[in-house]
Amino acid sequence: MGIPRGPAGVRGALWRSLTVYRWVSLAYAVALVGQTLGQADRPALGLTLFGVMAGWSLVMSVLAPAVDGHRPRLLAGLVAADVALCTAMVVLTLPVGPRSGHALPGLWSASGVLSAALLGGTAGGLVAGLLLSIATFVERGVVNDSSLGTAVLFLLSGTIVGYLSRTALVAEAALADVLAARAGDAERERLARRVHDGVLQALALISREAPRGLPAAAVAALAAEQEAALRELLRTPTAPRITAGVAGGGAGAGACAA
């Protein structure tokens, strides 16, 4: 199955990375099923849950990148459903039987935390990680080193991935602004050279032909041509200058927003 590219730039790369994670973690869990699911109380239910995991992985791998940037409400709904389903999958492993008899849902459930972190930054990842942590305590029925370690993994992955993804997006936007500013400067320089050269040529022509009786219409045409070029230069917006202090402040604001 090809990996949908999704939006361009960092955001598309993040969605592709999450898609790879979903399928690798699902393959890892399925590889363990053949060795352990037979020891569970309800192996058929376990296989059904694996089918749900595979189907939902396909839905998120295809739809989420496709709607990102085009239908924000649908994307938010998909991510919310992703978190809810991953939380439900953790709790639904209770009727399957003893945890020693299966690998449900394994690392796959963290994909909901990662998708929330991608969409909502640090706050989104933290909320999703908290929900998955509560589900883990409910499923285990006890607070011990194992359940605490899983909860900490959910919380840390949500906050760290959320912060890094938001920081990467802010940095990409800042780079785009810098490139746009440079392109504007280059265009103004091109127009300035064009006006400068045109004025020099017009003055040289007038100086050379005036003693020979250069027609007034020709002088007016030259003046009109240079006026039009000068107006075009003045209409071209001046690109904003980004200083080190401003850039640093923008990065800090982005980090706080994350």
DSSP output for 70-111: T-HHHHHHHHHHHHHHHHHHHHTTTTT--GGG---SGGGGHH
For residue 68, the model assigns a pLDDT of 86
Q: Indicate the pTM of the whole model.
A: 0.65
Domain range list for the chain: 9-172, 176-257
Three-state DSSP class for residue 192: helix
CA torsion sign, 47 to 52 to 56 to 58? positive
Tens digit of pLDDT at every position of the chain (258 positions): 555 556 777 888 888 999 999 999 999 888 887 777 777 788 888 888 889 999 999 999 999 988 888 888 999 999 999 999 999 999 888 888 777 666 778 789 999 999 999 999 999 999 999 999 999 888 888 788 878 888 898 999 899 999 988 888 888 778 777 777 777 667 667 766 766 666 656 666 665 655 666 666 666 676 677 667 666 666 665 544 443 333 333 333 333 333
Taking residue 45's Cβ as centre, other Cβ atoms within 10 Å add up to 18
Residue position matching structure tokens 């002088």: 219
For residue 144, the model assigns a pLDDT of 83
